Copies of this chain bind each other. A is one copy, B any other.
């Protein structure tokens, strides 16, 4: 019988970058983990690393390509066997190109992963866990989810989606008296595999191509600050690179008399 007393933190996109370091950071907090990514070998290496340092933790590997919705639903169904505490939608990628020239196959995968998989996981997790004390949903957006960045228009639009969806969900959970908290993390440039993938290159020099950036370890530590806080948004200032915790940033219609009346 599967141990249901143990609680787990789910992290998508855990094979590298912010997701990888976030897994280590939650392990250091004594959290059991379910780590998700396409690359099974990377997940196995991460699991070994974590268990070497924290041998009593439980680390579950789930290898899946989340740009296919059948994998998204299958993964969620598989996780019904575990008691979840925190869900971190970190999987996602970018694309640097003008809209006129962008590779639509890549764009379609990006929309499915950054927008569709995130929406489905969020909705399912909220449906099942919103009334459990201590639960959190953390969606990784971007500074580009609050400010449009040249040559990354479609990527930024996916992150505007993530920011608006998650801020709106945070309002909804609070207003309905749910116990779950929904939060947005908005990193600026962070030294990960993002640059390579977004530019379709095999080498990417963050020192040359960005003046300033954070490391994945720094971003994982900011994510933990957000996790520990009661604020909804954790955002890096794109000019100063300072991290701050704050209330939702987008306008919210709240109790406007111009909303649809309750039926």
Contacts and interface: CB of A to CB of B under 8 A. Distances in A.
A260 B96 contact: yes
- This chain: how many copies in the complex? 2
A12 interface: no
A62 B259 CA distance: 34
Nearest to A120: B104
A176 B119 contact: no
B115 A100 contact: no
Interface centre among A99, A107, A165 (most CB of B within 10 A): A99
A111 interface: yes
Contact of A253 (B108, B127, B238, B257): B238
Chain A interface size band reads: 35 or more
Contact of A147 (B158, B161, B239, B252): B252
Given A189-B258, A210-B261, A154 B119 contact: yes
Given A116-B111, A154-B119, A161-B160, A98 B176 contact: yes
A156 B168 contact: yes
A263 B209 CA distance: 7
A251 B99 CA distance: 19
Contacts of A165: 153-154, 156-157
Given A111-B119, A199-B263, A258-B238, A167 B148 contact: yes
A171 B254 CA distance: 31
A56 interface: no
A183 B215 CA distance: 37
Interface string A167-181: 111011001101000
18 contacts: A69-B108, A104-B123, A108-B120, A111-B119, A119-B154, A147-B253, A148-B248, A149-B253, A150-B172, A151-B172, A153-B171, A154-B168, A157-B161, A157-B168, A160-B161, A210-B260, A212-B258, A239-B256
